[in-house]
Homo-oligomer: A and B are copies of this chain.
């Protein structure tokens, strides 16, 4: 699946203007997102509910760049964002299919924005949001004919959403808005705290299904992990909501993206910007946390925590230099990291470096070494890092 080799020679193939200054850039493979979406949709084939897909693009498409990612999602039935500001941005970028807004409304002052986005699906997580709609003077004169409200069950996250008692109350209030034709429809939304655990999903679904059994409306459950591990289970819902898997990263700690059949869409690259030779006993970087046990060759990379590479990545974190796996040394600085060149004698200034995101160095592997998850590395990538579209 992974047949692409990145490096200097490839840069000239990019249609994008490449300014040869500080060497730090991300590659984005749009076709990987298309493939991942198609792969996930394939899993839902034969669903009696004709399960549809909300492709989650919140947080600037998980840091991949919303404007670049949206065209790769044309086969999705809808997209999901966090707030109305993001929804309007998607619309401005040309998206004209349904948009789900996970955060719903944050204040009554957002209600006028609802008229700007046709086919909007608001997730409702607490009663005040329904009151804001009910009491809105704007909604007395105009109706939101293309707005659907999705009531969120707090599920096993005990996080956003209604408990069992309030859910019925919320439904009644939403139904009142519907009966007055102020909104277009009502749906039912559940989210899993431990989607990689079958029993946990089942327990959550039993409670959820019990809760909504007498309430009409479409359902939406199932994130990336549920869809990859338990596709049959996801065929019972009307809408699934993959996020991370679209970008080709595994949402399941014990399974690699490759094993799951996903292709990474974004990778982070730099070059060696200097070479140093250490004598045994020399300390490296702030605080001198790495001490050379022998004479050794090291390289400096123009990437640090200020660029979005995690400062929690310490000595031993894997990194590729000229396609050879080696390790980080010492503390990551704001704009520089140090790499062990012991086994890469030919490395010199300009030698390409991969920090994360290819099949040879999955983002999950680097994330785990830094004690976190792929989604954090994606979303914290500095917007100063140029994303070069590969295809």
Interface residues of A (CB under 8 A from B): 19-23, 58-60, 63, 82-85, 102-103, 106-107, 109-110, 113, 125-126, 128, 154, 156-160, 163, 193-194, 273-278, 282-288, 298, 300, 302, 305-306, 308, 311-312, 333-336, 338, 349, 371-373, 375-376, 379-380, 382-384
Contact A312 B157 (CB under 8 A): no
Q: Which of A21, A277, A298, A305 has the most CB of B within 10 A?
A: A21
- Give complex CA distance A294, B267 in Å: 44
- Give complex CA distance A128, B380 in Å: 32
Contact B106 A334 (CB under 8 A): no
Contact B283 A193 (CB under 8 A): yes
- Give complex CA distance A128, B283 in Å: 24
A-B contacts, 14 of them at CB < 8 A, read: A20-B106, A58-B334, A158-B283, A158-B284, A159-B284, A159-B333, A160-B274, A194-B287, A305-B380, A311-B376, A334-B379, A379-B382, A380-B380, A380-B382
Chain B residues within an 8 Å CB radius of A383: 383
Chain B residues within an 8 Å CB radius of A334: 58-59, 375, 379
- Give complex CA distance A288, B195 in Å: 11
- Of B22, B58, B277, B300, which is within 8 A of A306 by CB? B58
- Give complex CA distance A379, B110 in Å: 30
Q: Which B-chain residue is minimally distant from A271 (CB atoms)?
A: B106
Chain B residues within an 8 Å CB radius of A275: 126
- Of B20, B126, B156, B338, which is within 8 A of A288 by CB? B156
- Of B85, B308, B335, which is within 8 A of A103 by CB? B335
Contact A286 B193 (CB under 8 A): yes
Kindly provide the distance from the CB of A12 to the nearest chain B CB, expressed in whole angstroms: 14
Given contacts A274-B125, A305-B379, contact A85 B157 (CB under 8 A): no
Contact A23 B106 (CB under 8 A): yes
Contact A83 B194 (CB under 8 A): no
Contact A103 B22 (CB under 8 A): yes
- Give complex CA distance A288, B277 in Å: 47
Q: Which of A109, A311, A333, A373 has the most CB of B within 10 A?
A: A311
- Give complex CA distance A157, B305 in Å: 17
Given contacts A126-B274, A305-B379, A334-B379, contact A22 B85 (CB under 8 A): yes
Chain B residues within an 8 Å CB radius of A83: 21-22
Contact A160 B336 (CB under 8 A): yes
Given contacts A106-B302, A380-B305, contact A285 B157 (CB under 8 A): yes
Chain B residues within an 8 Å CB radius of A113: 21
